[in-house]
Amino acid sequence: MSSEVVKAVFLGVFLSVFFAVNLANAIKILLSSERRSKISREAFRGDHTRSIQLSIAAFGTLAFFTEAVTYCFCVFFGSCGWLTEWTIDVHTGLSICSEAIGFAFVIFGCAIFLWSVLERGRRVNLNRLVTWGAFRYVRHPSYVGYFLMFAGFVLLLRNPIALLPLVAVPGYVGLAVFEEQLLVEEFGDSYVKYQKRTGRFIPKLRSAHTDAYAAVQTS
């Protein structure tokens, strides 16, 4: 089995699990009678800057999944020559290392994203601030998951086309800042304290006191 087929199978399984978990969680939330979070589409209406950030994030994310599905399709049907021609050739050893790191990034990113989705779905009443699970370590684990998946895709394919999803990163960063402003308005001092003890995208060093506080929040 060629390396291209292995990568395609891996991405196919990853995409299937990703969409299945997200679909199940979306249905669970839609069927819930609980009030949704203040962060919704209405919050972006009339805000040109946020709409652009949302569009950029959506475009990059759509590009990622479109490229992944297209790549799998081309490999399985034997028509990926136009992709492999653009692959950046490096020393064989470095190529294997790059693919291994890319696999690890995509797996880890997918795991973090799905973890955050499942934790949110565990408490469909989004009136409560979520600080457990993946949110215990960073304030925006789903975005971190996307960043890792985008970077892993580049290393995995070593193709300039794979760089396109990276345009979503500044969009997600801008949205994270905006969402936190809304969360401060909604949860007040609780979210401010959460910001101080938890990194936005990179985990902060945690003390025993911080861990004890987090444990109380999840109980």
The DSSP-derived string for 51-95 is HHHHHHHHHHHHHHHHHHHHHHHHHHTT--HHHHTTSPP--HHHH
Give the residue among 102, 83, 96, 105 at the shortest CA–CA distance from 155: 102
Percent of the chain with pLDDT over 90: 33
* Mean pLDDT to the nearest integer, 90-102: 72
Give the residue among 162, 8, 168, 12 at the shortest CA–CA distance from 88: 162
Question: pLDDT digits over 197-214, tens only?
Answer: 999 999 987 654 455 455
Helix (H, G, I), strand (E, B) or coil at 104: helix
Give the chain's domains with CATH numbers. Answer: 3-25+38-218 (1.20.120.1630)
147 pLDDT above the threshold of 70 = yes
Question: pLDDT digits over 162-172, tens only?
Answer: 899 999 999 99
Bridge partners (DSSP) of residue 199 are 138
Rounded CA-CA distance 135/216 in Å is 14
The DSSP-derived string for 3-25 is HHHHHHHHHHHHHHHHHHHHHHH
Question: pLDDT digits over 107-136, tens only?
Answer: 899 999 989 888 776 655 556 788 888 999
Question: pLDDT digits over 132-144, tens only?
Answer: 889 999 999 999 9
Q: Which residues contact 44 (CB under 8 A, 6 or more apart)?
A: 50, 51, 54
38-52, 60-74, 117-131: range with lowest mean pLDDT: 38-52
71 pLDDT above the threshold of 70 = yes
Q: How many Cβ atoms from other residues are within 10 Å of residue 154's Cβ?
A: 20
Output the average pLDDT for the chain.
Answer: 79
∠ CA 24-107-139, nearest 5°, is: 70
**Spatial contact of 87 and 157, defined as CB atoms under 8 Å apart:** yes
Helix (H, G, I), strand (E, B) or coil at 138: strand
